A and B are shown apart, each in its own frame.
Chain A
Amino acid sequence: MTVEWSGGRGGSKGRACAVWALVAAVGVAAPAYARPDAPKTGELWKFATGDKVESHPSPGGAFRIHFTRAGAHAVPLADADGDGLPDHVAALAVVYDDALAFYSKLGLPWPIGDGTVGGDARFDVYLIDFAGKADGTFVQEACSGHACSGFLVQENDFSGYAYPTVAYANRVLASHELFHAVQAAIDTKQSQVMSEGTAVWATEQFDPSLKDFENFLPGFLQHPERSLDKPMPGPVDPFSYGSAIFFQFLSERFGPKAVVQLWMDCKDGANGVADPDWFTALGALLVRDHMTTFAIEFKQFAVWNLRTGGWAEAGVGYANAAKYPAVATTSATMPHIDDDLRVFYASAQYLRLPVAGRAAVTAALAAKTDPASLRIGLAARKGKQFGEWLWIVPPFAPPFPSLDCHGAEEVVVALVNTAQAGESVRGRLCVGGQAEIAPCLPPSAVAEPSADAGGADADPAARTDAAGSDGTGPDAADASAGPAVDGGGCAAGGRSPSGWLPASAVAAVWRWRRRGACPVPGGSQGSRAHR
């Protein structure tokens, strides 16, 4: 028989920050959740009645591993060194010591101690047979504010699990679940994206040879169109686990301590905020500690995610990008017209469109909602080689710059909403040659085209972000708003910008935008298929 179960690691969240010496100060109350060795409890994960439960203190002194040698919950009994202790238990205790030392070195707090529950002040780990339904979980117990103590329950022998070895599984589980206990020492009220995403990230930092991080990445990379801070619905949430890639991005951009600091900024009262939310704290952290913004970094994140898997290139994006799965893209043909574009905040979508003989390609947006946070990036691709990114930025007013496509196989379009909140950007998106984007242009632009508007090689000036070949570069639009045509970022990639948009054109753009018009009908809908 089986039941529908969320699987995963049962990752609970947690908080609190204090070493065990501070237990008394934290004021741990009596556990509300019975320990697995407590008899006659109704808890899901517990030893069987009659099991003889032993325990072993870790050499580092921080953990106590509880186990049994017989019955369904028995650990592997091999004892090669003949010391009377199953090697499995001895090795696991060392792994926990190592993981804690690693996290401590990063600057993270120890889990909150539990007084004498479990026999002493050591952090308790219980080895239980999950029978394939899960492989471990952190259980919160006593809390002070949003900081909680607790204990871990971990699969006893991994029999029937897909891990390559028991030792491998122990390193994955110990580093992941212990990180939840560390989180619990800081704050237990953060979202699943933060709790599970950073727990997967933590395992990768602890031991990059493990493939746990890479295995979870499809959960995010198959859904880049979801807002970064929104867990996926349903009992299984691969998106939250896969969002580890965002924390890896932060880690590679600013060092792993940026993620640690983000957690510390989530502690109640940190930076004067009574009950911080990680996503809000993130924006403040980037400005305060790294002199950048979420908008700039999220655009960069979107570009890095595109350069994974088969499109990875040494020196571009993630250090191990070639080992990561590809991000989801949508194949389309030009002229591409999408009447129902919807790009959520903190999300990205990618199109790939064969050049099909076009010498230059552009994109236009007739927005139905405020598009201020949207960035439209175009890059010509041939094999793994990407040309410079051309970023088209608000107010998405004509004339639109073109991307030189000579010699390219296809154009890759990145639609990146750089906001951290708010309504989605919706509207009609057009991608094609200058003459093919008319359905997204205001009537005035169609009725009175500029001299070069109809030419495939036209390269009119428009507001863009200058971009390097890796998609970096200033994002001037993030620091300004309104109808300015060039806020300092007027430089089309690929081809040089042809000049300033005349003031009369600016006025026309604003009249059009204020009417909210998207008046030019026609144009065929490009066929779309997921890669």
Chain B
Amino acid sequence: MRRSRVRADWIACATFAIAAGCATASAKGAATSGAADAAGDAAADAQTGDVTADAAADGGSDAAADAADAEISATDAATDAPALLCKAAAVTCSDNQILDLGLIKKASARAITNTTDSAVFESEVDASAGGFQPTESFVYARFTSVGLERVDIGDHAALESMAWDIAFRRYIVRLNSGPSGPSCVVGAPLAEGVTFDQVVAAARSITLGPEAYYDKACKLVDDGSGLGAPATVLSPYWKYTGCVQMTGQVFQVKLADGRLIKLTFSSFYPPAAQATCDSTGAVPTGTAAAKIRLKWAVLAGP
């Protein structure tokens, strides 16, 4: 029952357009890198997972070729949807994932709200999911020109849908790739200490990866929090020391249509309670939780 959070270096040196030098980001557990190693092969092969910003910068020729072959289901093909860079890939470990994460068929009706200022969006997602022991689906969403938009889809259907980019439930945030979904939304944390405002363009050499929170034997790779949470690409946005603390980690995400996004998470609790949590490791009794606030913006290509 004892809990501890393990921090370990995860990604390789990443250089930024504005952030000077070379740094290393961290994730919750050494298992994260192991997961990427173990599960990455199939996922990456299937979903063009290891997409580098450099590749995108030079025209993304490989990705463009993939896009030419893209097969988008009628359900997913919204009238104004841009071409996708990947085909839908078969999701592995779906049985285990449904059981391990407690996935549900019925779509969540929880709200997402957005505010914007100079192309920077602040989105609030009600990821409460019925409580500490979730009884509702993740809230699925896509990044649009008008903000983060909910996709009305349940957990089971989401495993076969290209329509969503990101999903939220309690402290877990998943991208649509790897075991999480059939798309090719990839991401990575930027160097520790880099702030959201410092990032003005896509990183040139950062390696973006797909979700890889199952190993080849379909065993869940957890994030080391002690809460049984999967080691997702975005897991390093929080840490657990008695409450869900924000790390301030900034991420770069590449969507299935090729857009690059920077994002960071500002709170899991209401702002005042979050500040208390971040400074003391506890929150007042009765504090509402899982109202996730994130800040994001589309980046220009490198």
| Interface flags, B79-110, vs A, CB<8A=1, else 0 | 00000000000000001001111100100000
Which residue in A226, A227, A340 is a CB contact (below 8 Å) of B105? Answer: A340
Q: Which residues of B contact A232 (CB under 8 A)?
A: 102, 133
Establish whether residues B102 and A1, one from each chain, have CB atoms under 8 Å apart when the complex forms.
no
**From A2, A342, A344, A424, residue with most partner B Cβ within 10 Å:** A2
Establish whether residues B282 and A230, one from each chain, have CB atoms under 8 Å apart when the complex forms.
no
A48 to chain B, nearest CB (A): 20
A349 to chain B, nearest CB (A): 11
| Interface flags, A1-40, vs B, CB<8A=1, else 0 | 1111010001010000000000000000000000000000
Measured CB to CB, the residues of B under 8 A from A are: 1-2, 95, 98-102, 105, 132-134, 156-157, 226-228, 240, 242-243, 280-285
Establish whether residues B228 and A230, one from each chain, have CB atoms under 8 Å apart when the complex forms.
no
A424 to B281, CA, bound (A): 41
A10 to B104, CA, bound (A): 28
Establish whether residues B2 and A235, one from each chain, have CB atoms under 8 Å apart when the complex forms.
no
Q: Which residues of B contact A134 (CB under 8 A)?
A: 1
Query: Does A234 make an interface contact (CB < 8 A)?
Result: yes
A35 to chain B, nearest CB (A): 16
Establish whether residues B99 and A44, one from each chain, have CB atoms under 8 Å apart when the complex forms.
no
Which residue in B1, B95, B242 is a CB contact (below 8 Å) of A424? Answer: B95
Which residue in B156, B226, B240, B280 is a CB contact (below 8 Å) of A342? Answer: B156
A424 to B226, CA, bound (A): 28
A445 to B280, CA, bound (A): 68
| Interface flags, A301-327, vs B, CB<8A=1, else 0 | 000000000000000000000000000
Query: Does A137 make an interface contact (CB < 8 A)?
Result: yes
Query: Does A252 make an interface contact (CB < 8 A)?
Result: no
A1 to chain B, nearest CB (A): 4
Query: Does A233 make an interface contact (CB < 8 A)?
Result: yes
Answer whether A10 and B101 are a contact pair too, CB < 8 Å, given A2-B282, A235-B228: no
For window 471-504 of chain A, which residues contact chain B by CB distance below 8 Å? none
A2 to B283, CA, bound (A): 6
A137 to chain B: closest residue by CB:
B1
Which residue in A6, A234, A344 is a CB contact (below 8 Å) of B99? Answer: A344
B241 to chain A: closest residue by CB:
A3
Q: Which residues of B contact A452 (CB under 8 A)?
A: none
A232 to B103, CA, bound (A): 11
Establish whether residues B95 and A1, one from each chain, have CB atoms under 8 Å apart when the complex forms.
no
Query: Does A238 make an interface contact (CB < 8 A)?
Result: yes
Count of chain A residues with a beta carbon within 8 Å of a chain B beta carbon? 24
Q: Which residues of A contact B157 (CB under 8 A)?
A: 340
Which residue in B99, B102, B242 is a CB contact (below 8 Å) of A3? Answer: B242
A-B pairs with lowest CB-CB distance, top 9:
A3-B242, A1-B282, A2-B285, A230-B99, A233-B228, A424-B95, A10-B1, A235-B227, A233-B100
Which residue in B102, B156, B240 is a CB contact (below 8 Å) of A234? Answer: B102
A2 to B243, CA, bound (A): 9
Answer whether A4 and B105 are a contact pair too, CB < 8 Å, given A12-B1, A44-B2: no
Q: Which residues of B contact A233 (CB under 8 A)?
A: 99-102, 228
Establish whether residues B133 and A236, one from each chain, have CB atoms under 8 Å apart when the complex forms.
yes
Establish whether residues A235 and B226, one from each chain, have CB atoms under 8 Å apart when the complex forms.
yes
Establish whether residues B283 and A227, one from each chain, have CB atoms under 8 Å apart when the complex forms.
no
Known A2-B285, A226-B99, A233-B101; 18 more pairs at CB < 8 Å? A1-B285, A2-B283, A3-B243, A3-B281, A4-B243, A6-B1, A10-B1, A134-B1, A137-B1, A230-B100, A234-B132, A235-B227, A235-B228, A236-B132, A342-B98, A344-B95, A344-B99, A424-B95
Can you pick out 27 interface pairs between chain A and chain B where the beta carbons lie within 8 Å of each other? A1-B280, A1-B282, A3-B242, A3-B243, A3-B281, A4-B227, A4-B240, A4-B242, A6-B1, A134-B1, A227-B99, A230-B99, A232-B102, A232-B133, A233-B99, A233-B100, A233-B102, A233-B228, A234-B132, A234-B227, A235-B227, A235-B228, A238-B133, A340-B105, A342-B156, A344-B98, A423-B95
Q: Which residues of B contact A6 (CB under 8 A)?
A: 1
A529 to chain B: closest residue by CB:
B106
Establish whether residues A234 and B228, one from each chain, have CB atoms under 8 Å apart when the complex forms.
yes
Which residue in B133, B134, B156, B243 is a CB contact (below 8 Å) of A340? Answer: B156
Q: Which residues of B contact A238 (CB under 8 A)?
A: 133
A230 to B100, CA, bound (A): 8
A283 to chain B, nearest CB (A): 20
For window 22-76 of chain A, which residues contact chain B by CB distance below 8 Å? 44
A490 to chain B, nearest CB (A): 32
Q: Which residues of B contact A44 (CB under 8 A)?
A: 2
Q: Which residues of A contact B133 (CB under 8 A)?
A: 232, 234, 236, 238
Q: Which residues of B contact A424 (CB under 8 A)?
A: 95
Q: Which residues of B contact A3 (CB under 8 A)?
A: 242-243, 281-282
A233 to B95, CA, bound (A): 14
A310 to B243, CA, bound (A): 41
A340 to chain B: closest residue by CB:
B156
A152 to chain B, nearest CB (A): 14
A233 to B281, CA, bound (A): 23
| Interface flags, A328-350, vs B, CB<8A=1, else 0 | 00000000000010101000000
B221 to chain A, nearest CB (A): 13
**From A2, A234, A238, residue with most partner B Cβ within 10 Å:** A234
Q: Which residues of B contact A342 (CB under 8 A)?
A: 95, 98, 156
Which residue in B98, B132, B134, B228 is a CB contact (below 8 Å) of A4? Answer: B132
Q: Which residues of A contact B284 (CB under 8 A)?
A: 1-2
A345 to chain B: closest residue by CB:
B95
A235 to B98, CA, bound (A): 17
A227 to B243, CA, bound (A): 30
B97 to chain A, nearest CB (A): 10
A3 to B228, CA, bound (A): 16
B131 to chain A, nearest CB (A): 10
A137 to B2, CA, bound (A): 11
**From A3, A12, A44, residue with most partner B Cβ within 10 Å:** A3
A9 to B100, CA, bound (A): 22
Q: Which residues of B contact A340 (CB under 8 A)?
A: 105, 156-157
Q: Which residues of B contact A137 (CB under 8 A)?
A: 1
A9 to chain B: closest residue by CB:
B1
Q: Which residues of B contact A1 (CB under 8 A)?
A: 280, 282-285
A530 to chain B: closest residue by CB:
B106
Q: Which residues of A contact B132 (CB under 8 A)?
A: 4, 234, 236
B20 to chain A, nearest CB (A): 38
A12 to B281, CA, bound (A): 25
A94 to B285, CA, bound (A): 37
A11 to chain B: closest residue by CB:
B1
A132 to B243, CA, bound (A): 17
A424 to B101, CA, bound (A): 16
Q: Which residues of B contact A236 (CB under 8 A)?
A: 132-133
A36 to chain B, nearest CB (A): 14
A230 to B228, CA, bound (A): 13
Q: Which residues of A contact B282 (CB under 8 A)?
A: 1-3
Q: Which residues of B contact A12 (CB under 8 A)?
A: 1
Q: Which residues of A contact B156 (CB under 8 A)?
A: 340, 342
A501 to chain B, nearest CB (A): 32
A296 to chain B, nearest CB (A): 23
